Amino acid sequence: MLTGNRSSKTFKPKKNIPEGSHQYELLKHAEATLGSGNLRMAVMLPDGEDLNEWIAVNTVDFFNQINMLYGTITDFCSEGSCPVMSAGPKYEYHWADGTNIKKPIKCSAPKYIDYLMTWVQDQLDDETLFPSKIGVPFRKNFMSVAKTILKRLFRVYAHIYHQHFDAVIQLQEEAHLNTSFKHFIFFVQEFNLIDRKELAPLQELIEKLTTKDR
């Protein structure tokens, strides 16, 4: 018998937004509007807020969500079960980060996701990229880095859906996964953050999840 252990198990340490900070208030606003059940409204930029800051807060939140979701199924994602990082038979991902690994390497899904989540964590921990203090300006390349982070986080959703959905059902996590992914998709659609071709591995699911809310 498998039991969900969502509360305690994350793949990487959770990235916390400091309480009392403006970003913490923004996160609370996001959580409150999410509670209303209207995801299209929940992802919209709140009046008078800075777009970069809104994208930064939500990017941290999505990292934490995916971290938790993948943490629940790590026992099912091994070198043996997932020798390549794939999202169905047509899509395979090779890892490169442009600095430590410049030439894309073929590796197992757990290795790829470890590289990916460590890389995202390094970006989120970089105060020059994700400033936590009010009034510290965002770097000019912030938006392109945020887009790369979200594009890569999408691949973890795609891998979970294609290769591990049976485990998700066994753990009774499918509602949690679907809600998280739907929120993610509405967010990236609202601000046009991921190219359509990158979303192709889950296109049918995206259409199914989003048509009901048009």
- Annotated ligand binding at 107? The verdict is no
Predicted local distance difference test score (pLDDT) of residue 3: 39
Q: Any known ligand binding at 164?
A: yes
CA 204 → CA 161, 185, 209, distances in Å? 12, 13, 9
The reply to whether 159 sits in an annotated binding site is yes
What is the topology classification, in CATH, of domain 39-211? Butyryl-CoA Dehydrogenase, subunit A; domain 3 (1.20.140)
Domains in the chain: boundaries: 39-211
Q: For position 10, what pLDDT does the model report?
A: 65
Mean pLDDT along residues 105-123: 96
How do residues 27-69 score in pLDDT, each as one tens digit?
Answer: 776 666 666 568 888 899 999 989 999 999 999 999 999 999 9
Place of tokens 């509670």: 35
Q: Which residues of 150-187 are buried (b: 16+ CB within 10 A; e: fewer)?
A: bebbbbbbbbbbbbbeebbebbebeebbeebbbbbbbb
Candidate from 12-26, 95-109, 118-132 with smallest mean pLDDT: 12-26
